[in-house]
Amino acid sequence: MFKKILFALAILITGFVVLVSRQPSTFRIERSLTMATPADLPFGLVNDFHRWHFWSPWDAMDPQMKKTFDGPYAGPGATYAWSGNDKVGQGKMTILDAKPYERINIQLEFQKPWEAVNATTFTFQPAAEGSVTVSWIMEGHNTFVGKAFSLFMDMDGMIGKDFEKGLASIKTLTEQEAKNRLEREAKAKAEAEAAAQAPAPTDAPQATTTTP
């Protein structure tokens, strides 16, 4: 009986290993959102790690999360390391390349609760007039553990949900700033036009004196 149980377990384990090994060796998670804003506004929020706390879905998961910034203030070479609770773990991001208002490439390194290195890309594609479609993409290789997790958890759904939250926050922030920018420009234009139409000041009459 004991041998039969061991044999059955061996079959189950072998079957599980075969099933896991047949899972995709790579993954790609992508979400996009169109925003009524010029591309420079969302680009600026992503290109500067110091501004991620305004929109990142993970900052809210651990307000006490420790952050370290290094390298240039923004753009290629800038790094952002974090260490927090079980929900956010520990890791590091590095901006590898940034083409203004078009694309930002980031290397994403997870250190805890597991180790992994993934490629993250943000793209900014012109949409309707005055709008831009922002895409958030993460790609990487699945280890055996990652393949096993994919059998029980919908990684695309879990991470994709966070991407959707982050993009929605970027949309809210940038659309408001775009509106404020238009209002400032309209006010400045009105003030300039009013100044141009104002009558030119006349010279004050000079005092005259008479000789007695």
What's the mean per-residue pLDDT of the chain? Answer: 82
CATH code for position 96: 3.30.530.20
Does some domain include residue 194?
Answer: no
- Domain containing residue 104: 26-143+154-185
Does some domain include residue 92?
Answer: yes
Does some domain include residue 37?
Answer: yes
Does some domain include residue 116?
Answer: yes
Does some domain include residue 58?
Answer: yes
pLDDT computed for residue 128 by the predictor: 84
Does some domain include residue 52?
Answer: yes
The pLDDT tens digits for 38-91 are: 999 999 999 999 999 999 998 888 888 899 999 999 999 999 999 988 888 899
pLDDT computed for residue 142 by the predictor: 62
pTM of the model: 0.79
- For residue 113, cis peptide bond before it (omega within 30 degrees of 0): yes
Mean pLDDT of 108-129: 90
CB 82 within 8 A of CB 67: yes
Does some domain include residue 161?
Answer: yes
- Work out the pLDDT band at 2, boundaries 50, 70, 90: low
Per-residue b or e along 80-108, where b marks 16 or more CB atoms closer than 10 Å to that residue's CB: bbbbbeeebbebbbbbeebeebeebbbeb
Token pair for 183: 């209002």
Nearest to 119 by CA among 51, 27, 32, 24: 27
- Structurally, how many domains does the chain consist of? 1
Q: Distance between CA atoms of 108 and 21, rounded to whole angstroms?
A: 25
Does some domain include residue 12?
Answer: no
